[in-house]
Structure 1
Amino acid sequence: MIIRLATPNEIPIIKSYGKKVQEEATVGYLTQNDEIPTKETYFWGESYYFVLVNHDHICGWVLVGDTYHPFKQEPTGMIIELYVLPNYRNYGFGQQLMAAALKHFKYKGYKTVQLNVFAGNPAKKMYEKLGFRDVSTAMEIHF
C-alpha cells in the first residue's frame, strides 16, 4: 500500500463515488438523490486528492485544499473529503490518509487544519484521536 497524489485518470474514478461518499459522510443528512455541493465552495486555493493504492487499485482517498481562517486571518489547510472503500475499512487506512494530509499541510507551513464532520459520523472519533477538537456547532430547525 502506498499513498501518493492521484493521477488525472484516477480523478473521474474518485468522483464517480461522489453521491455515495456524500450520503455516508453526512450520515444520511444528504442522500444520493440530493445535488452534490461543489467542493469549490470549501476552499480558495489548490486542492489535491491523495490516494491510497494497492497494486494500482484505489482503496481510499483524502481531498485536501487551502482555505482562509475567518477568525485568525491566515491561510488554513482543509480536509475536504476522506473516504475509504468499504472492503478496506477497519485496517487503519483512514488514519494513514489523514497522516499524509497533515504531513502535506505541515510541509506547506500551515498552523491550522480544519475539517467538517457530521454528528453521528464514526470518523469523528478518529479525528479526535488525531488531535482535532470541536470549534463550533452548526444547528438548524426545519419547518
Structure 2
Amino acid sequence: MPTVVIRPAVEADSSVIMRFVRELAEFEREPQSVKSSEEDLRRDGWGETPMFEALIAELDGEAVGFALTSRTYSTWEGRPGLFVEDLYVTPAARRYGVGRKLLAAIARRAVERGYRRVDLNVLDWNPARGFYDRIGFRQLQEWLPYRLTGDGLAALAAETA
C-alpha cells in the first residue's frame, strides 16, 4: 500500500497548487474561470497577511492533491470555522484515501484551534457528494449560496451612502 503524507504547503508549492487549481477547474468544466496566478498564491498565502492556508497530499513522495482553506466566523457559534475553498486529488490517487486524509487534517486543525465547523461547497453533479456524505458532511437544504462579482460588485460599490 502506498504511503500517504499530508503536510502544510510552503511557498515553494505555489506552482503545484496552481497546477492542481487548473486541473480542478477542468474537472468542474470551467477552465476559463481561473484568473489567479502563482504570484497571487505567493502573495496571499505567504505574504504579509496570509489569506489562506493549504495542505499538500503526497503519495510515495509525489504531490497528488491539495486542500486550501480560509477562516470564517460564525456569530451563532461565537467561534471561527474553516471554509474549504478547494479540495482536489488527482484521479489516479483517489483510491488511496487521500481526500479523506486531507479532510481529517483540516478537521484536526479546526478542533485544535477551537473552531466549531468546517464548510465547503460541492457542485450538484459532482460524484464526490457521496464521499462527503460518508465522511459526515451534510448538505444544507435551506441555505442557498449567493455571490456578487464583476459588474454587479462594481455597481453596488459605486452607490453612495
With the shorter chain as reference, the TM-score category is 0.7 to 0.9
Match of 1:59 in 2: 64
Rate the CA distance shift 1:6–1:35 in 2: closer, same or farther, 3 A: closer
TM-score normalized with structure 1 length: 0.77
Deviations 1:48-103 (A, max 9, x none): 11111134320111112201236555422111111101221222211111111111
**Which structure is larger by alpha-carbon Rg, 1 or 2?**
2
Aligned to 2:21, which of 14, 18, 22?
A: 18
* SS of residue matched to 1:98: helix
Residue 66 of structure 1: SS of its match in structure 2?
A: strand
- Identity over aligned residues, as a percent? 26
Please state if 1:32 is matched with 2:39: no
1:137 equivalent among 131, 144, 154: 144
Change (3 A) 1:94 1:5: same
Q: For residue 5 of structure 2, what is the aligned residue in structure 1? A: 2
CA distance in 2, matches of 1:52, 1:33: 25
* Aligned-partner Cα distance in 1 for 2:113–2:34: 33
Amino acid at match of 2:133: E
Contact preservation (8 Å) 1:19, 1:36 = no
Higher relative contact order (CA 8 A, sep 6+): 1
Contact residue 77 and residue 110 of structure 1 kept, 8 A: yes
Candidates 72, 75, 83, aligned match of 1:78: 83
- 1:17-50 per-residue CA deviation (whole Å, 9 max, x = no partner) reads 32321232xx42xx2123447998xxxx742111
Which residue of the other structure, out of 52, 55, 59, is the alignment partner of 1:50? Answer: 55
**One-letter amino acid matched to 1:84:** V
- Listed as ranges, the gaps of 5+ residues in structure 2 are 45-49, 147-161
Instruction: Describe the shift of the 1:71–1:120 C-alpha distance in structure 2 as closer, same or farther (beyond 3 A).
Output: farther
| 1:90 partner SS | helix
Aligned alpha-carbon RMSD (Å): 2.6
